[in-house]
Homo-oligomer: A and B are copies of this chain.
């Protein structure tokens, strides 16, 4: 049929929807199948097992994630620091609009950490290690990061970022800041009275601090643009 997307994709979409509303653990393979209107068996025909399915989903998440980076790089008339600022805003949005994708990305970082420490590799579910999609991810997961490093390099070139900074280290730091920012959303919203800080105020302050950290000479004159590009 014309309107019928291929099953493989439909299954993934169904998984995303259900993981979003019920969480990974609580979602059963059967739920996913039913939502698509196919049988459990067919889902297993396309994906070897639940982990494999999740790795496939993670692959899509990384594609989408990378797309965010690309969009920022494509934007004309922005200097490096502005790009990083935009990126920050975009990723924070991404985590809100595609929480499952964002979760998948973070989860992959955890797996990766274990994968890189010989002692911990055995803790990884063998089904993950068997998944084709996992191995594909090993190949591509750093692509968005490469784009982020590019932004820093651009910033150094255009003077918006201090020239003495090392692009890789700098970008990793920014990326880490973003992850941490997102994680802190819970406590920040929860603090009361004395330590209370509104989520919005924090996002603004956080962004500014990031800029202070990186800023070269050029930037000083255009603070307004930097800030509004956040939204």
Measured between alpha carbons, how far is A121 from B146 in the docked complex, in Å?
36
- Whether B176 pairs with A206 at a CB distance below 8 angstroms is yes
- Whether A168 pairs with B145 at a CB distance below 8 angstroms is no
Partner of A116, one of B149, B189, B202: B189
- Whether A116 pairs with B180 at a CB distance below 8 angstroms is no
Minimum CB distance partner of A106 in chain B: B183
- Whether B202 pairs with A172 at a CB distance below 8 angstroms is yes
Within 8 A of B (CB), among A181-231: 181, 183-191, 194-197, 201-202, 205-206, 209-210, 212-214
State the Cβ distance, A189 to closest chain B Cβ, in Å. 4
**B contact residues around A141 at 8 Å (CB):** 187, 190
Interface of A (DSSP majority class): helix
Within 8 A of B (CB), among A112-153: 112-117, 123, 138, 141-142, 145-146, 149
- Whether B116 pairs with A186 at a CB distance below 8 angstroms is yes
**B contact residues around A210 at 8 Å (CB):** 173, 213
Partner of A213, one of B172, B178, B189, B212: B212
Minimum CB distance partner of A117 in chain B: B189
